Structure 1
Amino acid sequence: MSGDDRQNEEDRQAELAREHKERQAKRAADQTAKARRNTLIGAGVAVVVVAAGVFAATTLVNNDGDSASAQASASASASASASASASASPSEPATSPTPAKTGPVTCSYKREKSVPNKFVGLPGKRPNMKLKKMTIELNRGKVVVDLMTDAAPCSVNSLQFLAQKKFYNDMKCHRLVTPDVSGVHLLQCGDPQAKADGKNPTDGQGTSGYVFTDENIDIPVGKGVVFLTQAGDAAGQNNSQFAISLSDENIQIGDGYNVVGMVSEGMDMLVGLAASGKDLIVNEADITGDGGTTAPKNPVIIKRITFS
């Protein structure tokens, strides 16, 4: 091969490498956008996509030679998140930075019929500000949540209303994921239509048939945080679905979710629901954002939820 031929071949390989890198970047961007579209109103993949998207974006930037600035940015972000969530542990319940509501509180709920739902009515406008605890009785054990009613009155009001209507009774928690499967660790419940079999493509889409605005969204979802689920770009679409963060690894997804309280009892049981992906029915569509959720092999069922 002549010198010109070798040069041409090297130029061609360089061009192919550049095009490959561009395709990787576009694929990552398309994946994130697609996942966000599929996380409308509390879909099961809402949390995973954000974490995966951040990881993919950081990796691609580092590979393009801007590793120093990207790593510094990621490090600063991680430090800020860790600092903000220092109190987010079951042994030290987090305190909300959101100022407590002063004077009478009025909540507003809007009927939403465009998704699968089980409608049992709309909650009242006046929340009970004296509620302190939510007890979730599962077939696997009891979970007690210390509520942040002052900072999230309308969220707590919605949960209590649905509990009183027996909306959650005998409901399967449709999603359980571990870090080795999706990069985050959480249990998600509240879809009345879910089969929780790891196969149903609409698991994670069902709601109570109404939505309401955001509140108490400044707390990163560290271990023990209980929050309402919705896509990061679907503000004001809170509904019946909620999740319990089972690891501080979830801090990477940041804040922006309605936090209702902190687990004060039952955390060990929750973490023990799945040691790894081997305890789960893994649904690849959960990870890619194509619909459906990864579910526990041993079903997790809500017997009832009570408030005090």
Structure 2
Amino acid sequence: MPSNEQRRQAAKRKLERQLARRAERAKRRRIWGASITAVVVIAAVGLVYWLVNLGPDNNSEAATSPDDSSTANTSKGACGYKDNPSETPPDGKDVGMPDDPAETPKTGTVKVTLKTNQGDIPLTLDRAKAPCTVQSMEHLVTKKFFDGTTCHRLTASAGLKVLQCGDPLGTGAGGPGYSIPDELAAAQKFTPGQSPDGSTQVVTYPRGTVAMANGGANTGGSQFFLVYGDSTLPPNYTYFGTVEAAGLTVLDKIAAGGITAGQNGPEDGTPKSPVQIKQAVKE
């Protein structure tokens, strides 16, 4: 039978073994923890390296997908045409946005003839004056957007003599479903003046001017106006071309036919001799 001293020695040895096993387990846990931490750090560094050096480039197809919510409603080129949700083109007039290359053509002219029931109105569109606007107008003409539309507004006041066209609805509220950025540098070079009350800076849009109508900054679409007599306006309307002499003769005939008074009075309404663009043709 073991003595008390033998029992104490046996218990001491057992305790020492237990403490040694616990120390070994703790050591293994520390080694595994350090290994896992190292793996996580290496993986994170590798992921960052891939994203910075090997991942999708910002100019890749994925990065510029039409599903990108920040730019889904804007064309990707130099002009940045934008969807205009306030306009829904009628059936047959939804022709999409124009092509929008990174380098918009800025030289040369485009010849367009508006074949109306009152006679042909030939226009010369100048890319140097408003490249994005001319690019859009060329698109609309090519897609036959203007065919079968009416010129819905004629004015004859001392300071505003224009025929306004290009609305597929014929009401003044329609458009192509997208908007064009303003290009005002050319209009700002017109002869300056003051409004009758002296409160507004204006310029003279000369007879023969072709300019964009709009409802505010950067809202131009398809509506444009043809100036048959010098007109005084703020330089807020993109000037992009001219009416040729034969077209001015037709405009004078339309103006002479008179105006059916509208909500702005007897000098601003619809032409008494209706004007329909049967076809717009790029020459």
Q: What TM-score results when the alignment is normalised by the length of structure 1? A: 0.55
Do structure 1's residue 178 and structure 2's residue 159 form an aligned pair? no
Q: Provide the aligned C-alpha RMSD in A.
A: 2.2
CA offset at residue 254 of structure 1? Answer: 3.6
Query: Would you say the 8 A contact 2:260–2:269 is kept in 1?
Result: yes
> More strand by proportion, 1 or 2?
2
- The structure 2 residue matched to 1:167, chosen from 140, 145, 165, is 145
- The structure 2 residue matched to 1:107, chosen from 60, 73, 79, is 79
Structure 2 residue identity aligned to 1:148: D
Q: Which structure 1 segments of 5+ residues have no match?
A: 1-104, 195-202
Identity %: 32
Equivalenced residues, count: 183
- Cα offsets for 1:8-66 (capped at 9, x unmatched): xxxxxxxxxxxxxxxxxxxxxxxxxxxxxxxxxxxxxxxxxxxxxxxxxxxxxxxxxxx
Give the equivalent residue in structure 2 for 1:246: 228
Query: Would you say the 8 A contact 2:122–2:244 is kept in 1?
Result: yes
Q: How does 1:75-224 map to 2 (within 5 A)?
A: 106-118=78-90, 119-126=94-101, 127=104, 129-179=107-157, 183-194=159-170, 203-216=171-184, 217-218=187-188, 219=190, 220-224=204-208
Look up the SS of the partner of 2:96 in the other structure: coil
Greater relative CO, 1 or 2 (CA 8 Å, sep 6+) = 1
Distance 1:264 1:109, change over 3 A: same
For the pair shown, the structure with the greater C-alpha radius of gyration is: 2
CA offset at residue 286 of structure 1? Answer: 3.2
Q: How does 1:266-305 map to 2 (within 5 A)?
A: 266-275=247-256, 279-283=258-262, 285-287=263-265, 294-305=269-280
Q: Which structure 2 segments of 5+ residues have no match?
A: 1-76, 191-203
CA offset at residue 262 of structure 1? Answer: 1.2
Look up the SS of the partner of 1:294 in the other structure: strand
Give the equivalent residue in structure 2 for 1:44: none
> More helix by proportion, 1 or 2?
1
Distance 1:176 1:264, change over 3 A: same
Give the equivalent residue in structure 2 for 1:237: 219
CA offset at residue 168 of structure 1? Answer: 0.4
Look up the SS of the partner of 1:226 in the other structure: strand
